[in-house]
């Protein structure tokens, strides 16, 4: 037997390749080269359909003069989308064994996502949450089945944790029936109660035992979904500009919006990926805050695209929304995105008051761009790109000073 034919041992904690069905056991938290799987990428791609539907309905609500109601519905439905994605992501980071049953159950979850996406317009326009609830039911039953399967392979505290997750997910799903059975005026209160309950399930479950999620893998998964949401923002705004040019020929009015929107999205990408965050995810407390806080990052990133569509429609006169409202539809979610990224990422890596204040001050400047009329989006984009350039310059200066200090140290 040659050396090339000797099978190499699988890394500790990695899914074993033998057989279509394997025990669903925890993976190693220190696995090397842990990256997103093709199944996870496919899962994210299907989720973006629901994100696109929520954004489209937000545009419709704002352009029809129902911004307050639209924002509330958007916040509620985006929570459902984000929470289902997050539940799967953290579970997969700890327990993905990639066997046939795991794949089938994940595909069932994807079917639930698509059903949820199909019901978003009814939920927005008619406050009918039945289809959304049914899609959510499919996803949550599949998620509970995964946790029960993990519990079957676990013992002691880990088994207790898995069972808490499974029954917590099922109990919350029953609670969401309030959106289907109770009258419309109660829906915001049902959402508030159930959102808090959902957020408490992982906190309670992991008091028994912490899941073996992988910090680098989790950071990559969140980063990939951020890219997908920003990509949806670019796609939605590009289609809006194309349609406006084809139907109205208003290229001059649209160029500032298109250029500003592109600068905002490019800056949003650069700012998010400016620092490696996985090293900061050292404990469950930090991870919970970081993971939960991404609701603001994801929802605001998607809302930027919706805002650009509103700005385009206002520019060509297909909506009665005021210039101020159309500008705010872009600047406010952009400012929220900047503040959320600063709070969750950037502030941990900034030294000195100048670096710490760069993004918060940028957010305030972006908000003030709301009052610049036709040039609001373009100037907001220039402000964001200036913040990127400032951050790069400050970082390079800091690195240079550290290198000089290191070079000045005496050597043996």
Beta carbons within 8 Å of 183's beta carbon, 6+ residues apart: none
pLDDT 10s digits, 235-293: 888 888 887 777 766 677 788 888 899 999 999 998 888 777 766 676 666 778 888 99
- Residue 28 in any domain: the answer is no
Tell me: do 250 and 376 sit in the same domain: yes
Residue 4 is predicted with a pLDDT of 36
- Say what the pLDDT of residue 396 is: 53
Asked which of 82-96, 197-211, 398-412 is least confident by mean pLDDT, the reply is 398-412
Query: Phi/psi class of residue 262: alpha, beta or left (left: φ > 0; alpha: ψ in -120 to 50)?
Result: alpha
**201 and 236 fall within a common domain:** no
Query: What is the predicted pLDDT for the residue at 9?
Result: 36
Residue 17 lies in a domain: no
Sequence-distant (6+) residues with CB within 8 A of 237 are 258, 261, 305, 308, 309, 312
pTM: 0.86
Residues 57 and 194 in one domain: yes
Residues 255 and 296 in one domain: yes
- Let me know if residue 151 belongs to a domain: yes
Structural domain contains residue 149: yes
- pLDDT band of residue 338 (cuts 50, 70, 90) is very high
- Can you give the pLDDT at residue 348? 62
Instruction: Examine the pLDDT at 96 and tell me if it is beyond 70.
Output: yes
pLDDT tens digits for range 391-404: 666 555 554 554 55
Residue that finishes a domain, picked among 158, 185, 213: 213
Answer with the residue of higher pLDDT: 205 or 388: 205
Q: How sure is the predictor about 5, in pLDDT bands with cuts at 50, 70 and 90? A: very low
Angstrom distance (rounded) from CA 110 to CA 212: 24
Domain carrying residue 281: 216-405
Q: How far is 131 from 133, CA to CA, in rounded Å?
A: 5
The arithmetic mean of pLDDT across residues 136-156, rounded, is: 93
How confident is the model at residue 3, as a pLDDT? 36
Is residue 116 domain-shared with residue 44, that is, in the same domain? yes
Q: How many domains does the chain have?
A: 2
Phi-psi region of 228 (alpha: psi -120 to 50; beta: other; left: phi over 0): alpha
**What is the pLDDT averaged over residues 135-160?**
93
In the listed set 213, 229, 258, which residue is the last one of a domain according to the structure?
213
Residues 97-120: what's their mean pLDDT? 92
Is residue 20, in this structure, part of any structural domain at all? no
Flag the least confident range among 52-66, 264-278, 375-389.
264-278
Does 397 lie in the same domain as 382? Answer: yes
Question: Does residue 21 belong to any structural domain of this protein?
Answer: no
Question: Cβ neighbours of residue 215 under 8 Å, at least 6 residues apart?
Answer: 29, 278, 279, 281, 282, 287
Q: Is residue 33 part of a domain?
A: no
Length of the chain: 412
Q: Are 51 and 167 in contact (CB under 8 A)?
A: no
What is the reported pLDDT for 249? 66
Q: What is the pLDDT of residues 347-366, one digit of tens each?
A: 666 666 766 777 889 999 99
> Cα–Cα distance between 273 and 259 in angstroms, integer?
22
Compute the 3-state secondary structure of the chain and give helix, strand, coil in percent, each to the nearest 5: 80, 0, 20
Residue 10 pLDDT > 50: no
pLDDT of residue 395: 57
C-alpha 238 chain-centroid distance: 21
**Do 207 and 222 fall into the same domain?**
no
Same domain, yes or no: 100 and 181? yes
Round to whole Å and give the CA distance between 12 and 31. Answer: 7
Chain mean pLDDT for the chain: 84
Nearest to 301 by CA among 364, 392, 235: 235
Q: What is the pLDDT of residues 166-189, one digit of tens each?
A: 999 999 999 999 999 999 999 999
């Amino acid at each position: 037997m040659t050396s090339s034919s000797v099978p190499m041992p699988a890394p500790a904690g990695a899914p074993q390749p033998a057989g279509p069905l394997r025990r669903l056991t925890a993976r190693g938290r220190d696995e090397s080269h842990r990256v997103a799987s093709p199944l996870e990428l496919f899962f994210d791609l299907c989720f973006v359909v629901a994100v696109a539907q929520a954004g489209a309905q937000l545009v419709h609500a704002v352009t029809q003069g129902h911004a307050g109601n639209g924002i509330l519905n958007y916040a509620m439905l985006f929570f459902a989308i984000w929470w289902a994605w997050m539940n799967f992501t953290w579970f997969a980071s700890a327990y993905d064994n990639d066997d046939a049953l795991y794949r089938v159950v994940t595909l069932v979850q994807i079917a639930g996502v698509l059903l949820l996406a199909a019901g978003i317009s009814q939920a927005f326009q008619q406050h009918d949450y039945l289809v959304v609830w049914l899609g959510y039911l499919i996803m949550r039953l599949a998620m509970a089945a995964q946790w029960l399967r993990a519990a079957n392979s676990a013992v002691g505290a880990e088994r207790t944790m898995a069972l808490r997750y499974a029954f917590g997910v099922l109990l919350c799903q029953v609670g969401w029936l309030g959106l289907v059975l109770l009258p419309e005026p109660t829906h915001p209160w049902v959402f508030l109660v159930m959102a808090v309950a959902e957020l408490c399930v992982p906190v309670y479950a992991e008091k028994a035992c912490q899941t073996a999620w992988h910090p680098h893998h989790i950071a990559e998964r969140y980063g990939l979904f951020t890219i997908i949401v920003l990509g949806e923002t670019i796609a939605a705004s590009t289609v809006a500009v194309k349609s406006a040019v084809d139907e109205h020929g208003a290229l001059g009015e649209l160029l500032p919006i298109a250029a500003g929107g592109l600068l905002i999205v490019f800056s949003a990408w650069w700012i998010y990926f400016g620092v490696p965050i996985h090293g900061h995810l050292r404990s469950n407390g930090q991870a919970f805050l970081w993971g939960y806080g991404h609701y603001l990052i994801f929802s605001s990133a998607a809302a930027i695209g919706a805002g650009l569509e509103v700005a385009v429609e206002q520019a060509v006169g297909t909506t009665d929304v005021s210039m101020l409202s159309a500008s705010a539809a872009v600047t406010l979610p952009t400012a929220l995105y900047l503040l959320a990224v600063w709070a969750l990422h950037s502030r941990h890596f900034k030294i000195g008051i100048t670096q710490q204040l760069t993004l918060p001050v940028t957010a305030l400047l972006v908000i003030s761009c709301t009052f610049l009329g036709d040039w609001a989006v373009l100037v907001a984009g220039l402000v964001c790109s200036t913040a990127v350039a400032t951050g790069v310059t400050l970082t390079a200066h800091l690195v240079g000073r550290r290198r000089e200090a290191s070079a000045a140290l005496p050597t043996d």
